[in-house]
């Protein structure tokens, strides 16, 4: 009997990351008829988890979430890595391959602490460290004051509980995966858009690892992949990073993809938005949309995308 695991799955150690890794393991075992010990979870402390008092954009960006797992993939310590796709940089090394996108969960943000934006007091302090959430909030409610909220979901809810802010935002998907979908209220995409690829779990392996690619491919959800790849193509066209206040949502609609996008200046005074429809699988058009949007954007928005601010 061979008791070696068939697949070593790297994950971050936060409760949300572990829940996502467990979901991946459960799907793999169900699809292949494996026992759960045939997939080994290998937790790593990511650089991004070590610094929790400053905004991610300030301390080095999204690479902080993938650096260690990329390294472990490269040196063969793990066969695959589980990521929240919204935390994964737009341009990935050629040596890695996104072998599967799991069925996407609720794509919306939830507002926590108050029942609606109208219920925020005049000048309310709101906790977030995401440039998109800060800018989008200030666009709706210029009177609010934004304070940095980082750390895992429980940490952020704890800060809210301790009165450090009147409200905060969290992704519905993360709350759901932690069994906390009773927290806060979902924000209607007509009013408030999520981050590119929000709610999507991606599983990466080495591009040249045919066995891992084959084993993981059964988990791939084509509809979710089409949506998140279009959102990431837009990001590529915009040259967006985690510094960029970009809000976008792509849904399937009548056999096509329907995209809504909004860009903001950092303090929220300026906003450009657009809607577009694409054929499923067309990545050139969302990328072009990003380029066109920036060309016509007001200067406060182009400045942040051109790294001038």
Ligand X SMILES: NCc1[nH]cc(CCC(=O)O)c1CC(=O)O
Cα 85 off chain centre by: 5
| 3-state secondary structure (DSSP) of residue 201 | strand
- Give the range of 29-37, 92-100, 171-179, 207-215 binding ligand X by CB under 6 A: 171-179
37 Rama class: left (phi>0) / alpha (psi -120 to 50) / beta = alpha
Q: How far apart are CA 266 and CA 55, in angstroms?
A: 14
Residue 126 is a binding residue for ligand X (CB under 6 A): no
**Least CB distance from residue 1 to ligand X, whole Å?**
38
Residue 171 is a binding residue for ligand X (CB under 6 A): yes
Helix, strand, coil % over all residues of the chain, rounded to 5: 40, 25, 40
| 3-state secondary structure (DSSP) of residue 95 | coil
Residue 199 is a binding residue for ligand X (CB under 6 A): yes
Are 203 and 192 contacting, i.e. CB atoms less than 8 angstroms apart?
no
Is 79 marked active-site? no
Render the burial of 174-204: b for 16+ CB within 10 Å, e for the rest.
Answer: bbbbbebbebbeebebeebbbbbbbbbbbbb
Q: Which is nearer to ligand X, 34 or 117 (CB)?
A: 117
**Least CB distance from residue 242 to ligand X, whole Å?**
9
Residue 173 is a binding residue for ligand X (CB under 6 A): yes
- Give the range of 4-12, 136-144, 166-174, 293-301 binding ligand X by CB under 6 A: 166-174
Of 87, 106, 109, 209, which residue is the catalytic one?
87
Q: Of residues 65-84, which lie at the interface with ligand X (CB under 6 A)?
A: 84
Residue 170 is a binding residue for ligand X (CB under 6 A): yes
Binding-site size, ligand X (CB under 6 A): 9
Among 68, 70, 79, 87, the residue binding ligand X under the rule CB under 6 A is 87
Residues tagged active-site: 87
Using CB under 6 A, list all residues that contact ligand X.
84, 86-87, 170-171, 173-174, 198-199
């Amino acid at each position: 009997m061979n008791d070696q695991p068939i697949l070593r799955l790297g994950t971050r150690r936060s409760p949300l990351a572990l829940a996502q890794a467990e979901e991946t393991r459960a799907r793999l075992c169900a699809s292949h008829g494996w026992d759960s010990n045939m997939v080994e979870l290998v937790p790593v402390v990511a650089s991004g988890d070590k610094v929790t008092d400053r905004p991610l954009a300030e301390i080095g960006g999204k690479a902080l979430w993938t650096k260690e797992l990329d390294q472990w993939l490269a040196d063969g310590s793990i066969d695959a890595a589980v990521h929240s796709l919204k935390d994964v940089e737009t341009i990935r090394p050629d040596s890695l391959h996104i072998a599967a996108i799991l069925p996407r969960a609720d794509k919306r943000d939830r507002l926590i602490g108050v029942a609606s934006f109208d219920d925020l007091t005049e000048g309310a302090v709101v906790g977030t460290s995401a440039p998109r959430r800060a800018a989008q909030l200030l666009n709706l409610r210029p009177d609010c004051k934004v304070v940095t909220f980082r750390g895992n979901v429980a940490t952020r809810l704890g800060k809210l509980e301790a009165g450090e802010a009147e409200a905060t935002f969290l992704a519905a998907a993360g709350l759901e995966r932690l069994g906390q979908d009773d927290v806060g209220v979902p924000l209607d995409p007509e009013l408030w858009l999520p981050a590119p690829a929000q709610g999507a779990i991606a599983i990466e392996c080495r591009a040249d690892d045919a066995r891992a690619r084959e084993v993981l491919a059964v988990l791939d959800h084509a509809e979710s992949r089409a949506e998140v790849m279009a959102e990431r193509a837009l990001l590529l066209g915009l040259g967006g990073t985690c510094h960029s206040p970009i809000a976008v949502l792509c849904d399937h609609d009548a056999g096509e993809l329907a995209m809504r996008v909004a860009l903001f200046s950092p303090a929220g005074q300026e906003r450009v938005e657009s809607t577009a429809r694409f054929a499923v699988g067309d990545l050139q058009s969302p990328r072009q949309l990003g380029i066109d949007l920036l060309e016509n954007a007001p200067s406060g928005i182009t400045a942040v995308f051109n790294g001038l601010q």
